[in-house]
Amino acid sequence: MRSTNMRKTVRIGLIGTGFMGKAHALSYLAAGNVFEDISRPVLHMVADLDAARAEAFREQFGFSGSTTDWESLVTDPDIDVVSITTPTLFHKEMALAAIAAGKHVHCEKPLSVNAADAWQMMRAAERAGVRTATGFNYLKNPLLKLAREMIASGELGEIYDFNGIHAEGFMADPQTPWSWRCDARGGAGAIADVGSHIVSVARYLAGPITELCAKLDTPVATRPVSAGATKRREVAVDDIARLIVSFERGCSGTLQASWLATGRSMQLAFQISGSKGTLAFTQERMNELRYFRAGEDPRGNGFRLIEAGPSHPPYGAFCVAGGHQLGFNDLKTIEMAEFIRAIDRNSPASPDFREAWEIQRLIDAALRSSRERCWQVL
């Protein structure tokens, strides 16, 4: 940590300049301005295999330097935090190298290609005493925190079931070219890429999952090797996953994941029902939480709307008025601020590598269940 004008700073090394790399750069910059109680993140070094792209990214976001060598980034003594936004296949090697160099590590989800690798990454970080975080940024929505508080306080009564889905359509067109997402060397498909998000939400709200039965399908069996190509390549991962799950608290539910959902851009949604009420949410309307309270109105007026506002922290750090809406990058900003705060206080971040390992265990169990056509106990 460095001190500048009485406020400490923490220097960031970022690996990857794609969509998530941009989200990380934006959120680190914003976190230092929105939240005054944390060390200010300073963008120090960015790494990408393409030198021109790395340099352009450096100039765009104000990094001090750029490199094509990620290994030199993780060992740079001036870097405190390493952010990893590469395809999953590379997460383990990069994270372990950063941990060995004594860096705090933020790694995008899914943490690894399988639970065994996730365990190694988690144990290495815990032994080294560094702080870790994994990019389940949708958990940072103030309304999901409210939902968790309502469930924990008993406002929904005894929980009966949880039904969740994460469906997007970015792979719905069979002519969408084959990419790293279709390669089994990088882990599972939709169940890991988008499904890990709804798994994280289910665990966050309803608690640990103890057993599951899964069915995974690949309706688009091949894809063009490149845009417009006639030659096609096999898709070796799932396109759609459906799970029946049992929770430690005694209820059950369903989880679905798909990247073939035509017309859906961000259907990360859930409904959780109990003896006293129900909560319903979709990321497509991320500033709205629907709440039904049993017995509240004999005329049956149904669900009422809870709209995000300053009474739902940390919304007020961004805007002093309700109805003005938070967005995706605001959730990422909250995520990075909480990570930096954990580093400042030398306390666990959430979700960290241990939670990401738990999520990966469930993904691995879903793959086994579908393959073996049987229930899996976690």
Task: Read off the CATH number of the domain in which 167 is found.
Answer: 3.30.360.10
Looking at the domain assignment, is residue 74 inside a domain? Answer: yes
pTM: 0.96
Nearest residue to 48 (alpha-carbon basis) of 79, 72, 78:
72
Q: Is residue 298 over pLDDT 70?
A: no
The pLDDT assigned to 295 comes to 84
Domain containing 24 equals 2-137
Same domain assignment for residues 106 and 174: no
Q: What is the CATH number of the domain that holds 48?
A: 3.40.50.720
Same domain assignment for residues 247 and 301: yes
Looking at the domain assignment, is residue 210 inside a domain? Answer: yes
Same domain assignment for residues 155 and 59: no
Mean pLDDT of the region 248-253 = 98
Domain end (from 117, 137, 157):
137
Q: Is residue 201 over pLDDT 80?
A: yes
Same domain assignment for residues 47 and 146: no
Looking at the domain assignment, is residue 377 inside a domain? Answer: no
Q: And the tokens for 252? A: 């059950």
Report phi then psi at 66, rounded to 5.
Answer: -135, 160
Task: Please tell me whether residue 355 adopts helix, strand or coil conformation.
Answer: helix
Least confident range from 152-166, 225-239, 285-299: namely 285-299
The pLDDT assigned to 301 comes to 73
Looking at the domain assignment, is residue 365 inside a domain? Answer: no
The pLDDT assigned to 7 comes to 81
The pLDDT assigned to 326 comes to 97
Same domain assignment for residues 47 and 103: yes
Helix, strand, coil content of the chain in percent (nearest 5): 35, 25, 35
pLDDT tens per residue across span 1-58: 555 457 899 999 999 999 999 999 999 999 999 999 999 999 999 999 999 999 999 9
pLDDT tens per residue across span 75-127: 999 999 999 999 999 999 999 999 999 999 999 999 999 999 999 999 999 99
Same domain assignment for residues 80 and 31: yes
The pLDDT assigned to 302 comes to 87
The pLDDT assigned to 199 comes to 98
* Whole-angstrom distance, CA of residue 186 vs CA of residue 85: 14
Q: Is residue 61 over pLDDT 80?
A: yes
37 DSSP 8-state letter: T
Percent of the chain exceeding pLDDT 90 equals: 96
Q: What's the total number of domains in the chain?
A: 2
Residue type, 296: E
Same domain assignment for residues 148 and 109: no
The pLDDT assigned to 3 comes to 54
pLDDT tens per residue across span 340-368: 999 999 999 999 999 999 999 999 999 99
The pLDDT assigned to 192 comes to 98
Same domain assignment for residues 193 and 307: yes
Q: What is the per-residue DSSP string for 81-140?
A: EEEE-S-GGGHHHHHHHHHHTT-EEEEPSS-SSSHHHHHHHHHHHHHHT--EEE--GGGG
Same domain assignment for residues 112 and 224: no
Mean pLDDT of the region 251-271 = 97
Looking at the domain assignment, is residue 369 inside a domain? Answer: no
Same domain assignment for residues 7 and 121: yes
The mean of the pLDDT values for the chain is 96
Same domain assignment for residues 157 and 208: yes
Contact 170, 162 (CB under 8 A): no
